[in-house]
Amino acid sequence: MKDIVYLNGQILPSSEAKLGVNDRGFIFGDGVYEVIATYEGQPFEMKRHMDRLRYSLGEINIKGVDVDELGEKALELAAANDLQAAPMGLVYMQITRGCAPRTHAFPVGKVAPTVYMYAAPVNAKWDHKVGAAAITLSDTRWSRCDIKTVSLLANCMANQAAHDAGALEAIFIRDGMALEGTHTSMFVVVDGEVRTAPKTNYILPSITRELVLEICAEGGIPARETHIPEAVLHSADEIFLAGTTTEVLGIVKLDGKPVGDGKPGEMTTRLRQLYSERRLAVV
């Protein structure tokens, strides 16, 4: 596998890429990121991802990034890493506030952002036909989860707790309501209706979540955004996760107990098929 990256205007081998030790992304986690899926090298829903990147940059006031040009470079990077030969791949983009002497306040004067990207094939660690397990955890993250920031320590700790428990993902609970996973959106199916938490500052405005809701609307599937009490999560007929590389994945065990009959449910399977048909259109 090739290991070519993009750093501050250059596409080069990762072994030649150098970052300053005073980069605020390294010191403070002061930056944002985006992940775009590719299928045989073709990006999926790239415009929406780039629009979300613009939003994240604006919310933390990082300026001086040409997002349109970055999108073009992302395509070049995907080709440089032969992603056209991969059934599924990803392009990871990260933008930090750049290098400056350490101080909590934003640097005074002009500081160039650090822009980094890598591209790689995706090898799923799950079987969509089998489904996966999840646990629930109290949400200890900050209150601006709508920003796709690189400051992900709480997410990492929760995901590690899931792995330690033999599960794939952790679902965050805040004030008694189920919100989302550490790196996925979360849906439940109750009496034939698809439900997901409302879009607030406590969840990421997930592109895949948006697509699932659109697919439901197009297919005449009842769906709505609504608060999901933890009790509803535990009693749901089906639970599934959605994400850029996760796509649509059924949760068949929650906190050690089966969800439904312990297999991906009928609605989950249907939505995964409809999602697959939509993304296959880009190939």
What are the tens digits of pLDDT across the range 25-57? 999 999 999 999 999 999 999 999 999 999 999
Over range 238-266, report the average pLDDT: 98
**pTM of this prediction exceeds 0.85:** yes
Which domains are assigned to the chain? 4-121 (3.30.470.10), 132-280 (3.20.10.10)
Q: What is the pLDDT of residue 250?
A: 98
Beta strand extents in the chain (DSSP E only): 4-7, 10-13, 31-39, 42-43, 89-96, 114-121, 132-138, 169-174, 177-181, 185-190, 193-196, 223-225, 228-229, 238-243, 247-254, 257-258
Over range 115-137, report the average pLDDT: 95
Q: What is the pLDDT of residue 124?
A: 82
Catalytic site residue 47?
no
Rg over alpha carbons for the chain, rounded to the nearest Å, is 19
pLDDT in tens, 166-194: 999 999 999 999 999 999 999 999 999 99
Q: Which residues touch 257 (CB under 8 Å, ≥6 apart)?
A: 234
Q: What is the pLDDT of residue 45?
A: 97
Catalytic residue chosen out of the listed positions 63, 110, 148, 199:
148
